[in-house]
């Protein structure tokens, strides 16, 4: 089965993690080494989120059953 482009990347998890990182950093109670590692992790996750936001699906797909009841997925151009 074909998966979406963003498969494997969970937007929600990434966003929650970024928020945790920001809050942890803002608490100030953190070693410099750890702060730098978190900063790196945070910026990388945000870059992935930005990429996901800029992702654009061009067409919609159609799911149907064939005569034998087997599922079939294909691109469907719609009048928009």
Candidate list 3, 66, 67, 68; residue touching other proteins; CB under 8 A: 3
Confirm or reject binding of residue 20 to other proteins (CB under 8 A).
no
Enumerate residues 54-73 that contact other proteins by CB under 8 A. 54-57, 60-65, 71, 73
User: Which of these, 4, 18, 6, lies nearest to 53 by C-alpha position?
Assistant: 6
CB 55 within 8 A of CB 11: no
Task: Tell me the two tokens of residue 11.
Answer: 């937007």
The dihedral formed by the CA atoms of 62, 5, 15 and 33, expressed in degrees to the nearest 10: 170
Q: Which residues bind other proteins (CB under 8 A)?
A: 1, 3-7, 10-12, 15, 18-19, 21-22, 25-26, 28, 30, 32, 35-36, 39, 42-43, 46, 49-50, 52-57, 60-65, 71, 73, 76, 78-80
């Amino acid at each position: 089965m074909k998966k979406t482009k963003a498969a494997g990347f969970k937007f929600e998890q990434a966003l929650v993690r970024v928020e945790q990182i920001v809050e942890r950093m803002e608490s100030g109670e953190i070693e410099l080494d750890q702060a730098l590692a978190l900063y790196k992790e945070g910026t990388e996750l945000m870059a992935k989120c930005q990429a996901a936001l800029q992702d654009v699906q061009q067409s919609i797909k159609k799911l149907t059953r064939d005569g034998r009841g087997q599922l079939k997925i294909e691109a469907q151009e719609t009048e928009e």
